[in-house]
């Protein structure tokens, strides 16, 4: 059996490795045009990699639920065997994460719509008073 310090050191190393994997996934997906799909893939990947569950049924130390589920599903046989002990917390964390993400996106959309409405009302309608930024296309009349 490992000590609490061994589990802590294992979680530190595992968290660094999971963070590197999530960074790599973000680098792969950062240019994707589908923002919501990109966010959901990152959210699901983080929930799969970072959800903890007790390492053993009679032990209070935590281990990554993905590996506990994989180990028990493949190696343990009998009534206690199967993927569900690690899979149930992963599904719960992913479901709550998706719900919070949807609520956040809806609230963010409402706040940004309210802000853009206030900005549009505050800006003067006269086009000549706007400050020009960057290169803009100039309309030229055809020469006859």
Q: Give the pLDDT confidence of 9-34 residue by residue, as tens digits.
A: 999 999 999 999 999 999 999 988 88
- HEC readout, the chain: CCCHHHHHHHHHHHHHHHHHHHHHHHHHHCCCCCHHHHHHHHHHHHHHHHCEEECCCCCCCEEEHHHHHHHHHHCCCCCCCCCHHHHHHHHHHHHHHHHHHHHHHHHHHHHHHHHHHHHHHHCCCCHHHCCCCCCCCCCCCCCC
Taking the model in full, what pTM does it have? 0.71
Q: Which sequence spans correspond to the domains of the chain?
A: 4-121
Mean pLDDT of all residues in 113-136: 66
Q: Give tens-digit pLDDT for 39-97.
A: 999 999 999 999 999 888 887 888 899 988 888 888 877 666 677 888 899 999 999 99
Top pLDDT among 63 and 129 is at: 63
């Amino acid at each position: 059996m490992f000590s609490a310090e061994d589990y802590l050191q294992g979680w530190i190393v595992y968290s660094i490795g999971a963070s590197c994997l999530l960074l790599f996934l973000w680098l792969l997906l950062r240019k994707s045009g589908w923002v919501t799909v990109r966010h959901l893939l990152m959210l699901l990947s983080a929930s799969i990699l970072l959800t903890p569950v007790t390492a053993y049924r009679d032990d209070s130390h935590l281990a990554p639920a993905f590996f506990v589920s994989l180990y028990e599903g493949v190696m343990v046989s009998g009534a206690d065997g199967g993927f569900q002990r690690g899979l149930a917390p992963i599904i719960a964390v992913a479901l709550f994460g998706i719900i919070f993400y949807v609520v956040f996106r809806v609230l963010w959309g409402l706040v940004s719509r309210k802000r853009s409405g206030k900005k549009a009302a505050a800006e003067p309608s006269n086009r000549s008073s706007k400050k020009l930024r960057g290169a803009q296309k100039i309309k030229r009349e055809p020469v006859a």
